[in-house]
Structure 1
């Protein structure tokens, strides 16, 4: 099979060995505490079984380091991990305060088992062993064998004539390969030995297969296979199968029915007999026997099957055949052959395949029967019918339809048409091949096979019941597998009992064994099932292998199931999952993938839970073509796997390492990727085959064999180093004499001496001695602080770096810490952080193999150096805290008006120093904490620098805010006052009283008293903003005359009411209208209406005036209102006055004028009033807006006098005429009416004449 081929049919074979691998992700570890502030993990306990004996004895022998808490059997917690400052984790089970920690124990002991990824890789790529042989295809398959050898297949190697394939065993020590000589039988022609390999342990056994044995049966070339079973010394034990399957010997009874009608010339009839003779001579007795009948309108049986079998020279039976002549009764002749020749009475055999060959030169003529009368009988008898038409008659449609009716279906496969009888010899071989194809099978289709193309050994696996060999070509490439139990016949396992179309599925392309609690299952891959691929799991039920579960591929052409790998992740002896490769799965940037499929439990459906992929950029990478179990290389007690991708990097190839994950799974990301180009740019298909899990280098570690084109590379895994870290401080705490400063005097003092100890150890199973590594210590004081409180004596800075070459055992580095100046923060311990790196040194005795730090090792950790407390001789601080507060004179909280609430808090300590003092406020949800401000009164030697951090946690309808009173010590005998400011939501609902609670606590764990809790209540009202106003469309003015005094006029007073606040409330609108004055009606038929829908219902009542001497009152102020007149009061109740809602009211009636005369006034103001009211015990109008709750509307009523205008008009007219006459006389007297235009013309003419008389004399001269 060439690279890229997918079909094992014919002389091809499977392309093996493409794989990709994956990196491990974060693994869930046992009792771990995750610190969100730091990017690492601190283990809270350590299993004793992970502790080296020497180290366990060392710690168990030191009383001050004995674990003080036990979280679970075999799991110990150490007090040294407690002082982690703000970075300590709650899940550590550590103490919540420094007071919980025994003073004499300050050891920071941490086993570094984190989740961070390591830069070290488990597979060594610097020093590797390469095996190379010239055999073609060397490296195509590879297995590790007997913990000593790498067995390599070279299936393309040509050993001798008709022999292909080679087998080699390669040794790590010598770096050379030797051929394995097998007893190959001569019938194993071109078997491609080494195409598939399998191994087993206890005892060690090797199975080497060549699945392309060419086996000739007559004219057919079949493909079967041989596998060779070898023992631990590479000695051949058995051959599977022992012999090749014999060529099929299916019996066949062939009857000739030849046309002897008159339309055939005698010469052509002889040629037809020659054709029959030639066909008969190509078959041998006793498997094939013949009979012959000639037909026209007459019928003659020339010899039967009995005659043929008992005649010494059957071909001579044709010598007595002579042409009958006559018409063509073809249908009748076929019935006679069925009833007479192909019957037991004439020698036809019961189990033989019955074949009828009809030779004719034209359509039937005169036959009383039709083909529909006889062909169904032939079909029912299972007779295979060939129709041979001779002559040009069959170019006509009707004649061609007769051949279709005679022949079996599909008719094109069973019809031969030639132009003349001379051409019959041209179809002899075609007819022979078709009959031979029938002879080689037990079924009636000439295109089907059973085991003739099985290619047994295409894949192989060992099971407790014996070896299993995949047979992909069985039953028309449906596939299956053979199980070879000892001393009994092999069992064929396939899907034949299921109603499933498995044609061309290649079942058995890959094989794997799965074990679950001692019950074995056989997993077979069928990568071409329905073009998408399928994997089927078989289990044995009642000695029958039946399918139990299956999983199907999703992409056409992906070859899902081309590779399989069963994995026991937790190493308990039962298979947890099966890796299924689909190397031809195509994505835009990735090629190939591997499905992680946990074994189904019970009757549950088999599902794949995760997908593994290679890196992007390799769409033709064929990731997943080779899979192998490597073992536990990172010592996390989980099985790791390797996946190959030989098509990556333009067929240079790559392999991927994936670590096992908790939950019996595989990490979704790879931990290491190795490319073939790392070793040589000439390598091709690196990762085409893989084998791991054995220690071939005898160093206690598993190794990986990687097949390359023409090479095999042996990669070693690196020894794992683990580290314990222990830090001791001497003294264990900073004394008060060092850090307490009454004045800011700079003086460098020694804080403590620290011993930073690393204990390096390796797994006891490896065979290495004298492991060494280069360790870099990076120490930092007070990381995260802008200004450190301590420095190293060696560097005079906060950092220190040292590099050491260390072996296995404990090594300590001594450093001195200094205090350069006084510190304000003497509560928070000084933090010492260690960041170390470890790089293994090469080991010359092991070919320069380098150890590596465990990938899950955390390189960061911190230890704490606390300050000494001033707690008296008993070292127990007993504080005496009290708290009180007030609201700065506020009597009532008006929600919506009061936007902030200030609480003046007084905290006092009448006992010893208090550490971690906090004040917690509890208040309803309508309040929210804003900030705190330092008060004026402080009884503290130094400023507290009040810092209050708020943490909001919600418990039902109550909120709490926790504030730390700075981060310094709250000294005894001191007091602090500060303001706590809360924002009040304008929409808050607080009930009628606000309850605010405050309590004070500390880390001293002093019992609470009544003084540590204080409560205060405050009455609550809710601010509203309601407005009522007079509308401009109200009636403003009315007048009347004396004659109209008994009449009235319609009047309207309009009012508009608005809720401009942030709260709904119930309100009442009151209106007052004057209706009567001293018995005289004023406002008749008064009513109030509202255009709202639904309308507002209002009630009314009559009210008497407060002033009875109305006349005196009106004389002073001409206003008619309810103070002097009887009024009608309307009350309109509104249950809910919505936010931003607007209401309109109209006071309407008839205003009478009869009452005006009683007032002795000509003009009077008629006034109505309106007012908004609500429950003032609950609501309060916004301050300064009370005036908008009342409004008035005024209408001016005026009486006017009526006058006679005629005398005035006549007098005015006469006077005007007299005045006009007088003016005219005066103008005449002064000449205003004389015309002067004539005089002006005359004067102008005279002037012209005088000027002309003066000018004439001059002209005469």
Structure 2
């Protein structure tokens, strides 16, 4: 098939190694952090190897232990430069000696020291291969004395007349302590181009059968269908010829081309070997991360005829199921199991916000080709690429089960990278890691990639525990973590007697004549572990009456020092040795303590005394992570339970709430008032259990009421059941009658039905009649919302006419219409419950007799309001809109919590022209606003929902004429002249009528007057 055929534009493809680099380069810098958890991989004394900067030293790693006397670490650096002439960043594999003492340096292994080979074409020599940027060292694998390293981006010219470069990939085999080398390039043949093996990238993945035969993955063959190739290393060595570049290996086996539907599947992206058919002959396992319509699958392939036997298919598209595979007998049942990584798996807890966290799948083999449903482990950090690398570790902690390391190279704070250690068990893997190794180095160019490559299952330091190599190619470093010997301690506390009679005072207190009740305490311990020291020293710490709170009186003390705490060494010599220490413990006098009911708890805590380890011991032992280092025993004070010494309690329980109804949205502080009684004999470990509904939260015990007992109560959760547990005494003696109050908050009521329930019961550890009656309290739930509508008119009245202003017949501007009138309405939810669907309607006096009244210019809202107007004329005959045309404003009000409001503001102008035509008539313009709550956001709705209405009025009044205005001067002068004229005419008329004629008195007395006048004259 030609490149242009329908199977895809192969010419635009990039080699498969490129996505790995790009994924790494896209992430940020990683910094140093110590391990957050430590089991038996030593994180303090790392052995670190470093390579050239930018060489990707650490991209591939493996142990090389050809015999019991020699050990080393092999490190691939696919971008390293070598001494090969004219080759740029061809890649290399480094031999790093173990132990890394003094100035010992990693050195390149001379797998290939030659330049690009050439052929003569038409009389001209041309390169037939291209080793620059071939990524030699991208995969490295050792098996006993054999070492194989591959360059999946190795290109060759092909034999076509027109030069082409096909990334066929090549591998080199080294044997006999690197004294002999041979090249193996199974895809370098005449079957070129994408439809053949031209894009094979042989060596992209690599593994060995247990017999030493080689497994090579070539995911680019056959239009990226991919293939797996196997060959004998002995045949590779025997048939190798440097000059015969196209030599075919006789015993080589390959998977064949498949139908076109398998294109772009990437068979051979990862490979491994295991036994699954019960015939003792291993099969090979190959990852196909883009097969099965991009769901990915892993195939078990018959190693004899290369036929496909069985598939495991991924559950999520594009999760890259099959990116990594590991074969290991995890549960140590003698059958190989399969682990599959899917580092791009998306967790879809919330469909709108999926998180790429990665997953691994463990398929436990039950019998030949029969597997259990997978155990799934899911990553926790987004884009961490959980499962990008996995390694079979062997039995890391020597518990009989194999363990697994999982790389999360871009996880942690600032994407520093992590490696998680999962220990095996009979059912698979523990769901929580026993140890987390954190990223160790910072990187400045690309991410450090700590955990991008892992290798385990080899004991490099010969202490009988397998070790782990972690590569961080971005910083050019490799860390070797050595496993620490695991010490398992069997510790015991022996008390005699375990029931102490306070009346039996047999021990004399030193330096006193006082006798006290006492008992003997024996502390014993033995140790076990693979390759541990002959002498182990434990530091033992014993606490007496350890359940008593700090500061409380300890009821028991050591007889020799009067203390409740003691630290001492236990020296154990040999794994069969049983070391003990004896002590006498006495009880204080009865007058010094009141608690005679609760058990006397004695605890032993132990640790390794590291100060006793030999100076030359580099890897120190560690206590078993899965064995508690605390041992406890209890002594009891003898109590009176009758002649049979058998306590049969009669527990009674009653309870009531302080309110029988809670309101959605209110604070809802609720108290349960409880009465607990024992009308029988003592009840041991008596506890009150209060099951809390999911809507409620425990607040605490009521301590302000003197009638209530201040018991010790704590919140607990068992599975999905939330509860409060109160200690009622140990024992809860006969006649006990406790009243107590437990306070709760009930905040989560929105999605609840009509009621919530609290279930209560007293339980004890007595064998007979241990529990009380069962009490169930039902609290009703209701929704209550007080909603009010308020409004105001700005201004409340309009005075007409307006001085120096006349309306326009046909106004064009808002100011030409009339004075501004605003009606503001506020719908306020007083609460406490929420309303979610309310209709707010306003009847607006818009016009009358085809003449405008209040002309609306703008409607403004504040809060969850959506309004629209209805031009219909008074469709509901609303009051205050009679005989006028009302503009109906209808608003949908959204969710209003208690205390929230929604505001509607209508801005209008009085159409002054309408009113000036009817002067001196007063008017009152009113808008009617009403609301009706349609729904509340709860499952159960109240019987009656809030509603109401109000009217907002704006008055129009007329002003009294004001004469104090200015009068022109000529008017004043004219008025004066007219007034004078009128006065003159009036005077003339009165004169003509004789108004001014006077009637004079008679003349007879005139003589006397004149006489008087003459008499006075001389005196003047």
> What TM-score, normalized by structure 2, do the two folds share?
0.51
Q: Tell me whether 1:721 sits opposite 2:646 in the alignment.
A: no
SS of the aligned residue for 2:177 comes to: coil
213, 218, 222: which one pairs with 1:475? 222
Query: For the Cα contact (< 8 Å) 2:541–2:565, is it kept in 1?
Result: no
Query: For the Cα contact (< 8 Å) 1:750–1:817, is it kept in 2?
Result: no
Question: For residue 686 of structure 1, what is the aligned residue in structure 2?
Answer: 450
Query: For the Cα contact (< 8 Å) 1:565–1:629, is it kept in 2?
Result: yes
Deviations 1:1149-1170 (A, max 9, x none): xxxxxxxxxxxxxxxxxxxxxx
SS of the aligned residue for 1:221 comes to: coil
TM-aligned CA distance change 1:169 to 1:578, over 3 Å: same
Query: For the Cα contact (< 8 Å) 1:449–1:474, is it kept in 2?
Result: yes
Per the TM alignment, residue 668 of structure 1 is displaced from its structure 2 partner at its CA by: 2.7
TM-aligned CA distance change 1:150 to 1:770, over 3 Å: farther
Which runs of structure 2 are paired with 1:1111-1150 in the superposition (5 Å)? none
Which runs of structure 2 are paired with 1:529-548 in the superposition (5 Å)? 529=291, 532-540=294-302, 543-548=305-310
Q: Tell me whether 1:154 sits opposite 2:77 in the alignment.
A: yes
Question: For residue 797 of structure 2, what is the aligned residue in structure 1?
Answer: none
Per the TM alignment, residue 119 of structure 1 is displaced from its structure 2 partner at its CA by: 6.3
Per the TM alignment, residue 747 of structure 1 is displaced from its structure 2 partner at its CA by: 8.8
Per the TM alignment, residue 468 of structure 1 is displaced from its structure 2 partner at its CA by: 1.1
Question: For residue 849 of structure 1, what is the aligned residue in structure 2?
Answer: 619
Deviations 1:932-967 (A, max 9, x none): 6879xxxxxxxx899997999xxxxxxxxxxxx998
183, 196, 214: which one pairs with 1:450? 196
Per the TM alignment, residue 758 of structure 1 is displaced from its structure 2 partner at its CA by: 4.5
Per the TM alignment, residue 678 of structure 1 is displaced from its structure 2 partner at its CA by: 6.8
418, 422, 436: which one pairs with 1:655? 418
Query: For the Cα contact (< 8 Å) 1:652–1:684, is it kept in 2?
Result: no
Deviations 1:178-234 (A, max 9, x none): 32222566546314321112233xx44322112222211242111222222334624
TM-aligned CA distance change 1:573 to 1:1004, over 3 Å: closer
- Partners of 2:471 and 2:452 lie apart in 1 by 6
SS of the aligned residue for 2:81 comes to: strand
Query: For the Cα contact (< 8 Å) 1:536–1:547, is it kept in 2?
Result: no
Q: Tell me whether 1:196 sits opposite 2:139 in the alignment.
A: yes
Q: Tell me whether 1:224 sits opposite 2:168 in the alignment.
A: yes
Q: Tell me whether 1:142 sits opposite 2:61 in the alignment.
A: yes
Which runs of structure 2 are paired with 1:986-1001 in the superposition (5 Å)? none
Which runs of structure 2 are paired with 1:353-502 in the superposition (5 Å)? 448-464=194-210, 466-485=213-232, 489-494=250-255, 496-497=257-258, 501-502=261-262
- Partners of 2:199 and 2:401 lie apart in 1 by 42
Per the TM alignment, residue 706 of structure 1 is displaced from its structure 2 partner at its CA by: 0.9
Query: For the Cα contact (< 8 Å) 1:721–1:763, is it kept in 2?
Result: yes
TM-aligned CA distance change 1:541 to 1:509, over 3 Å: closer
Q: Tell me whether 1:207 sits opposite 2:207 in the alignment.
A: no
SS of the aligned residue for 2:222 comes to: helix
Aligned length: 609
Query: For the Cα contact (< 8 Å) 2:48–2:477, is it kept in 1?
Result: yes
- Partners of 2:257 and 2:387 lie apart in 1 by 29
318, 342, 345: which one pairs with 1:581? 342
SS of the aligned residue for 2:215 comes to: strand
Per the TM alignment, residue 539 of structure 1 is displaced from its structure 2 partner at its CA by: 3.2
Per the TM alignment, residue 139 of structure 1 is displaced from its structure 2 partner at its CA by: 0.8
Identify unmatched segments of 5+ residues in structure 1.
1-5, 20-117, 249-439, 442-447, 871-878, 880-908, 923-928, 936-943, 953-964, 971-975, 980-1001, 1006-1011, 1013-1261
Q: Tell me whether 1:124 sits opposite 2:53 in the alignment.
A: no
Question: For residue 790 of structure 1, what is the aligned residue in structure 2?
Answer: 556
Question: For residue 287 of structure 2, what is the aligned residue in structure 1?
Answer: 525
Question: For residue 329 of structure 2, what is the aligned residue in structure 1?
Answer: 568
Per the TM alignment, residue 654 of structure 1 is displaced from its structure 2 partner at its CA by: 2.1
Deviations 1:271-305 (A, max 9, x none): xxxxxxxxxxxxxxxxxxxxxxxxxxxxxxxxxxx
Query: For the Cα contact (< 8 Å) 2:344–2:356, is it kept in 1?
Result: yes
Q: Tell me whether 1:506 sits opposite 2:266 in the alignment.
A: yes
Question: For residue 672 of structure 1, what is the aligned residue in structure 2?
Answer: 435
SS of the aligned residue for 2:152 comes to: strand
Query: For the Cα contact (< 8 Å) 1:775–1:839, is it kept in 2?
Result: no
- Partners of 2:687 and 2:320 lie apart in 1 by 60
Per the TM alignment, residue 123 of structure 1 is displaced from its structure 2 partner at its CA by: 2.0
- Partners of 1:150 and 1:866 lie apart in 2 by 60
Query: For the Cα contact (< 8 Å) 1:215–1:222, is it kept in 2?
Result: yes
Query: For the Cα contact (< 8 Å) 2:649–2:682, is it kept in 1?
Result: no
Calculate the aligned-residue CA RMSD, in Å.
Answer: 5.1
Per the TM alignment, residue 841 of structure 1 is displaced from its structure 2 partner at its CA by: 4.6
Deviations 1:711-744 (A, max 9, x none): 1111122221222223344677646752599xxx
Question: For residue 1242 of structure 1, what is the aligned residue in structure 2?
Answer: none
> What TM-score, normalized by structure 1, do the two folds share?
0.42
SS of the aligned residue for 2:504 comes to: helix
Query: For the Cα contact (< 8 Å) 2:599–2:730, is it kept in 1?
Result: no
TM-aligned CA distance change 1:490 to 1:868, over 3 Å: same
Higher relative contact order (CA 8 A, sep 6+): 1
TM-aligned CA distance change 1:966 to 1:740, over 3 Å: farther
- Partners of 1:704 and 1:545 lie apart in 2 by 34
TM-aligned CA distance change 1:860 to 1:451, over 3 Å: same
Query: For the Cα contact (< 8 Å) 2:421–2:433, is it kept in 1?
Result: yes
Q: Tell me whether 1:820 sits opposite 2:567 in the alignment.
A: no
Query: For the Cα contact (< 8 Å) 1:193–1:210, is it kept in 2?
Result: yes
- Partners of 2:418 and 2:598 lie apart in 1 by 50
- Partners of 1:865 and 1:456 lie apart in 2 by 70
Per the TM alignment, residue 688 of structure 1 is displaced from its structure 2 partner at its CA by: 1.9
TM-aligned CA distance change 1:920 to 1:755, over 3 Å: closer
Per the TM alignment, residue 562 of structure 1 is displaced from its structure 2 partner at its CA by: 1.8
Per the TM alignment, residue 589 of structure 1 is displaced from its structure 2 partner at its CA by: 8.7
- Partners of 2:736 and 2:48 lie apart in 1 by 78
TM-aligned CA distance change 1:11 to 1:688, over 3 Å: closer
SS of the aligned residue for 1:687 comes to: coil
TM-aligned CA distance change 1:178 to 1:845, over 3 Å: farther
TM-aligned CA distance change 1:813 to 1:605, over 3 Å: closer
Identify unmatched segments of 5+ residues in structure 2.
1-11, 26-35, 118-128, 236-248, 653-673, 690-727, 738-764, 770-1020
Per the TM alignment, residue 919 of structure 1 is displaced from its structure 2 partner at its CA by: 6.4
Deviations 1:494-544 (A, max 9, x none): 4745x5722122211111123234353322122233773512313329834
Mean Cα deviation higher: 686-695 or 619-628: 619-628
- Partners of 2:111 and 2:638 lie apart in 1 by 82
TM-aligned CA distance change 1:132 to 1:821, over 3 Å: same
SS of the aligned residue for 2:166 comes to: strand
Query: For the Cα contact (< 8 Å) 1:621–1:651, is it kept in 2?
Result: no
TM-aligned CA distance change 1:805 to 1:489, over 3 Å: same
TM-aligned CA distance change 1:814 to 1:473, over 3 Å: same
Deviations 1:693-721 (A, max 9, x none): 11112222221111112111111222212
Per the TM alignment, residue 552 of structure 1 is displaced from its structure 2 partner at its CA by: 2.7
TM-aligned CA distance change 1:204 to 1:830, over 3 Å: same
Query: For the Cα contact (< 8 Å) 1:776–1:836, is it kept in 2?
Result: yes
SS of the aligned residue for 1:146 comes to: strand
- Partners of 1:831 and 1:624 lie apart in 2 by 45
SS of the aligned residue for 1:569 comes to: coil
Q: Tell me whether 1:862 sits opposite 2:787 in the alignment.
A: no
TM-aligned CA distance change 1:195 to 1:827, over 3 Å: closer
Per the TM alignment, residue 151 of structure 1 is displaced from its structure 2 partner at its CA by: 0.7
